[in-house]
Amino acid sequence: MKFGQTTTRVMIAAGLLALAGCTGGGGNFLGFGGKTDASPANAERPARERSQPQRETIWDLFTNRDDPNTTVEVNKYLWNAALDVLNFMPLEAADPFTGVMVFGYGTPPGGGRAYKATVYVRDPALDARSIEVALMSRGGPVSTETAHKIEDAILARARQLRIQDRNL
C-alpha cells in the first residue's frame, strides 16, 4: 500500500508542475511559468517587435489591432506614368503597397543601349521628391543626369494623366 500512495503523490506533484508550466506568465508556481520582460530573449528582440500588441488567442486574429495612423500611399498618376514611360522594358516585379517597380533590360525606341530600371514612388504628392529612378545599363550604372531625365519624363506624363482625369 505504501508504494501506491507514494506513486500517487509523485504523480500529483508531477501533474502540478506540468500544469504550472502551462501558465502564460500570470502564475509563478515554484519558480516555473513566470515570464518577465527582463528575459534575455525579450532583450534581444528589436523594439519594433516589442511595441506591437501581442495576440493572446486565436480570436484575436479577427480583431483590428493595427495602428490606424499607419498607411501606405502611392501616387496613382506617378505609378501609371512610370508604366507608360518605361513600357519598352519588361516589368519584372511590382509592389503597389510599397511603391516599388522593377523593370528588366529593354532597349528604348531609337536607341541602341539596353537599360534596366527600378522605380520607387514614395509619396502620394505629385512632385519631384515623390519619385526616384535607379537606372542601369549592361555596362554598369548610368549617369544621374540620365536618371533625372527619366524622372522628369515620368513627372510630365503623370501631370498629363492628372489633367486628363480632371476633364472627365
List the 115-121 sheet strands across, edge first. Answer: 91-95, 100-106, 115-121, 131-137, 140-141
Q: Between helices 76-85 and 144-166, what is the axis angle to 10°? A: 120
CATH class of 76-166: alpha beta
pLDDT value, residue 125: 85
Mean pLDDT over all residues of the chain? 78
- On the 0-12 / 13-18 / 19+ scale of CB atoms within 10 A, 83 is middle
User: Using CA atoms, how far apart are residues 146 and 134, in angstroms rounded to an integer?
Assistant: 10
pLDDT value, residue 43: 52
**pLDDT tens digits, one per residue of 36-55:** 445 455 555 555 555 555 65
User: Using CA atoms, how far apart are residues 55 and 44, in angstroms rounded to an integer?
Assistant: 20
User: Using CA atoms, how far apart are residues 102 and 77, in angstroms rounded to an integer?
Assistant: 17
**pLDDT tens digits, one per residue of 68-111:** 555 667 889 999 999 999 999 999 999 988 889 999 999 998 88
3-state secondary structure 108-148: CCCCCCCEEEEEEECCCCCCHHHEEEEEEECCEECCHHHHH
Domain coordinates of the chain in residue numbers?
A: 76-166
